[in-house]
């Protein structure tokens, strides 16, 4: 049985992270989030973290060589019959080609790409209000998903903080980078016949349920 692969594609603020978490807990997909792995590396001050930090602060893309390294490392740690869910990768045409190579080496292909769609004003509102748990990484929103106790994580009590790249100027740059670099992937995957558009302006659970239905056969096999 070959490895199954899905990708979550969408602008910053489209909800890739929280939706991926919903899918992961209801299926057997291995969640591969380059953003999460990079933030962890920055926090721990590893060589990868030191290389990535400045790019991330400006909302620019981290060089492909760094990304390739962390993705391969993550997949090597997973089991042989895993289903992969990529979140935040690939982000450029070069990365999409790299992913095809990586998967080819594991006798896998991209089975489905879910494009999370939400209006720009909503993306900005979600990003500016986002707060993240320093300990466990759980996401909140000051208005939409407030924690029970202000400033503290419902799950682990950890301190909530605002990501360094969730400042207004960096948010606008990230959206710009998405339009210029990542949007081109939509046509690429559409042509391959694997793109599925999903409305992600709705409550997260509805989006998660739709993706699980779409990926159900892949994750359960």
Number of neighbours of residue 213 by Cβ within 10 angstroms = 9
- Residues 63-92 close enough to bind ligand ADP by CB under 6 A: 67, 88-89, 91
Q: Of ligand ADP, Zn ion, none, which one does residue 135 interact with (CB within 5 to 8 Å by kind)?
A: Zn ion
Using CB positions, name the residue nearest to ligand ADP. 35
Q: Supply the minimum distance, in Å, between the C-beta of residue 83 and ligand ADP.
A: 20
Whether the bond into 118 is cis, omega within 30 of 0: no
Between strands 130-133 and 160-161, the pairing is antiparallel
Q: Supply the minimum distance, in Å, between the C-beta of residue 220 and ligand ADP.
A: 27
Furthest CA-CA distance within the chain: 47
Token pair belonging to 54:
């400045």
Number of residues that bind ligand ADP (CB under 6 A): 18
Query: What are the Cα distances from residue 26, in Å, to 5, 21, 29, 68, 205?
Result: 16, 9, 9, 27, 11
Q: Is 130 a catalytic residue?
A: yes
Q: Of Zn ion, ligand ADP, none, which one does residue 61 interact with (CB within 5 to 8 Å by kind)?
A: ligand ADP
Residues near ligand ADP, by CB under 6 A:
12, 16, 34-35, 38, 55-56, 59-62, 67, 88-89, 91, 95, 165, 174
């Amino acid at each position: 049985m070959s490895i199954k692969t899905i990708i979550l594609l969408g602008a910053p603020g489209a909800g890739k992270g929280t939706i991926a978490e919903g899918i992961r807990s209801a299926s057997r997909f291995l969640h591969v989030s380059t953003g999460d792995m990079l933030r962890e590396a920055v926090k721990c001050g590893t060589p990868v973290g030191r290389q990535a930090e400045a790019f991330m602060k400006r909302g620019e893309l981290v060089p492909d060589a760094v990304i390739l390294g962390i993705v391969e490392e993550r997949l090597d740690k997973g089991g042989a019959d895993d289903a992969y869910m990529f979140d935040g990768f690939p982000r450029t045409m070069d990365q999409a080609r790299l992913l095809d190579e990586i998967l080819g080496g594991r006798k896998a292909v991209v089975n489905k790409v879910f494009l999370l769609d939400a209006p720009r004003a909503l993306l900005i509102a979600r990003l500016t209000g986002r707060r993240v748990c320093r300990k466990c990484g759980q996401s909140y929103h000051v208005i939409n998903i407030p924690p029970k106790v202000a400033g503290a994580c419902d799950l682990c009590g950890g301190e909530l903080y605002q990501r360094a790249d969730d400042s207004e100027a960096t948010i606008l740059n990230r959206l710009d980078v998405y339009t210029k670099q990542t949007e081109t992937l939509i046509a690429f995957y559409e042509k391959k016949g694997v793109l599925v558009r999903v409305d992600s302006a709705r409550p997260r659970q509805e989006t998660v349920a739709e993706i699980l239905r779409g990926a159900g056969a892949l994750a359960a096999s």
